[in-house]
Structure 1
């Protein structure tokens, strides 16, 4: 992954008054969720070329730009920001290098809160995994995009301490409403489990936001088998014929286990059964059959993000 060394370019402006930017937009998960909610289109920013091509093929606006090259202060009138940085550095399905070096990101956020970007400037070079630095972009936009009215961020639960720290900086900067919540996609009718931590904040409105957690509203939990048209009783093998600790199979009559990049090696029905297809993975993540991602993306990065990228049927953001 390439991350900008140079200072942000004030003349690189991708969104204007009243618009919403989506940083690390990927192939279109948040865009699809926004469509379901009837929200205006977002201006997506993404570094991976194939993910951009996928998003454009689905009808979404994409700018192939390193988000660290954008100057939030130059985006006059931009109303909202959605920040969904890559999760592998922090995910329990990966090496969790981002968790080990989270203090570097926390120091950069504190520095931004004090009006200084010195810790932010070379953060990717001080991180073993440069993607760790991308979680700080939420703070940079919230604290330096002067017209920003609201912010929505999403990450794996282990990033919750960082979101809480950012809330403290938002309070010091005069933001009036902010909170951190955990939501599971399976509670909203998505046929796979995906627990994520969201930060939402509003600069001017002190009205508390009611966050719906998916319980008690009559939403029917969908099983993996139902979503993919399988017969009851089918099992999915996650490690083939290997005998390893931690479990090797689960029943498809409930929501799928959380999909990761390794999901492409799952076997259906038996340890040597057929593999889960990218199209099936898309359905499990809430994409429709018509979504073009599995036909457009060719790089390993894009394929992985189609397997892993999620969208929420309902937003924890309410205006």
Structure 2
């Protein structure tokens, strides 16, 4: 854990004196705070006060799906979210839409940074190609799973969040005859064992044997919440998204670590975006964990509404979409091999970066990035940045805002159905509403 120097603490004390007096903090002090807190915002070095937005770290944050779910779909403004992502175009998109982004590798950052000591929530969406059928699925190999799960299982020890009641005398002290506090019958087995002494960089180094480094980002799902807890942050909740192919073994290992750290509840479910009215299909597994809330997640018990691709894009009925060009016809079925066409009178197939090559069969019309965004439930005027390929890749990788809203609403115990329906109505039937939204925003 990095500690502040006396000079750095003096800057914070001076800034707090201005804040207490009601006077604005001078620009030079704000600059100094930002330098001390880097890469995090300097304002996060100041203690959180009642009534201020709750601080949330969003990791592998992408172009803004979770943030749009909170802000635009649910209208929740009680969170101060700072996102981190390596993709410069995704960060540019998020910033253009009003979301805070740090362009960095999350594995190079310390969850115990002094600027994070008032963090209450963590959102994380590790890249899914290592597990998804659209990728090479190296994350499903036993050797890689063994390394990943062993690392996750070690996070609690590194954080000092292994319950004393779960340890034997030998595990805690080694084999010796002296009197052991675990055995004296005075309740001294209540609490956590000492930290292992390993740094987070050393924990991450346990993943070096993976054949695809992206698999190791799943360990960050435990490292960040438990690292924050170890540093004394008032961490309360975590939300995670990943490919629906993520092995249950990994989910079980994560759940075990949170349970051992005395988190109240951990649950997960596979959610299909089309069941929530999104105009495209996308199955993802979502996990939520909470320390002091009885939050749970489940797939919708019934489809909320159905939005077809044609309806979302204003197409006539009967249109079909070609996804892979002219393919050889299978004489047994009379259809192109590889399944390269689908009807636009249903929700679209799951978008990927390759959706940029999809064409409407009748006239060869291609999707625009804005239309791709609408199909995954982004507002029509969302400011996608980067090349055409990059914009489609962002839309293919992102968490659908409507699904993010559903998951976060369940986590925080707030109503979601009417907000989602209102948002979908505006998104797919009253596109001009977003021109007014952008003027206000």
Shorter-normalised TM range? 0.7 to 0.9
Greater share of residues in helix: 2
Q: Which residue of 1 aligns with 2:147?
A: 104
1:207-229 Cα offsets, whole Å, 9 max, x none, are 2x353633447x32100010001
Whether 2:398 is the aligned partner of 1:309: answer yes
Cα 1:256–1:52 shift into 2, 3 Å: same
Tell me how far 1:181 sits from its aligned partner.
1.0
Q: Which residue of 2 aligns with 1:20?
A: 56
1:175-207 Cα offsets, whole Å, 9 max, x none, are 1111011111111111001111011011123x2
Q: Which residue of 1 aligns with 2:246?
A: 159
- For residue 211 of structure 1, the aligned residue among 262, 285, 297 is 297
| CA-atom RMSD in angstroms | 2.4
Q: Greater CA deviation, 136-145 or 108-117? A: 108-117
Which is higher, the Rg of structure 1 or of structure 2? 2
Q: How many residues align?
A: 306
Q: Which residue of 2 aligns with 1:288?
A: 379
Rounded to whole Å, the distance in 2 between the matches of 1:140 and 1:80 is 13
Which secondary structure state, in structure 2, belongs to the residue aligned with residue 181 of structure 1?
Answer: strand
Alignment TM-score, normalising by the size of structure 1? 0.88
Q: Which residue of 2 aligns with 1:30?
A: 66
Which secondary structure state, in structure 2, belongs to the residue aligned with residue 108 of structure 1?
Answer: helix
Rounded to whole Å, the distance in 2 between the matches of 1:282 and 1:95 is 25
Q: Which residue of 2 aligns with 1:241?
A: 326
Cα 1:88–1:288 shift into 2, 3 Å: same
Whether 2:218 is the aligned partner of 1:182: answer no
Q: Which residue of 2 aligns with 1:113?
A: 156
Q: Greater CA deviation, 224-233 or 141-150? A: 141-150
1:98-141 Cα offsets, whole Å, 9 max, x none, are 22223322121012122245442252x42222211212111101
Which secondary structure state, in structure 1, belongs to the residue aligned with residue 68 of structure 2?
Answer: helix
1:34–1:41 contact (8 Å) kept in structure 2: no
Which secondary structure state, in structure 2, belongs to the residue aligned with residue 31 of structure 1?
Answer: helix
Q: Which residue of 2 aligns with 1:276?
A: 367
Q: Greater CA deviation, 154-163 or 190-199? A: 154-163
Cα 1:302–1:14 shift into 2, 3 Å: farther
Which secondary structure state, in structure 2, belongs to the residue aligned with residue 240 of structure 1?
Answer: coil
1:107–1:119 contact (8 Å) kept in structure 2: no
Q: Which residue of 2 aligns with 1:4?
A: none
Tell me how far 1:20 sits from its aligned partner.
0.4
Cα 1:268–1:165 shift into 2, 3 Å: same
Tell me how far 1:311 sits from its aligned partner.
1.9
**Which 5+ residue runs of structure 2 have no aligned equivalent?**
5-36, 49-53, 159-197, 329-335, 413-441
Alignment TM-score, normalising by the size of structure 2? 0.65
Which structure is higher in RCO with an 8 Å CA cutoff and minimum separation 6? 1
Tell me how far 1:170 sits from its aligned partner.
0.7
1:12–1:71 contact (8 Å) kept in structure 2: no
Cα 1:9–1:28 shift into 2, 3 Å: farther
Rounded to whole Å, the distance in 1 between the matches of 2:298 and 2:267 is 13
Rounded to whole Å, the distance in 2 between the matches of 1:308 and 1:233 is 28
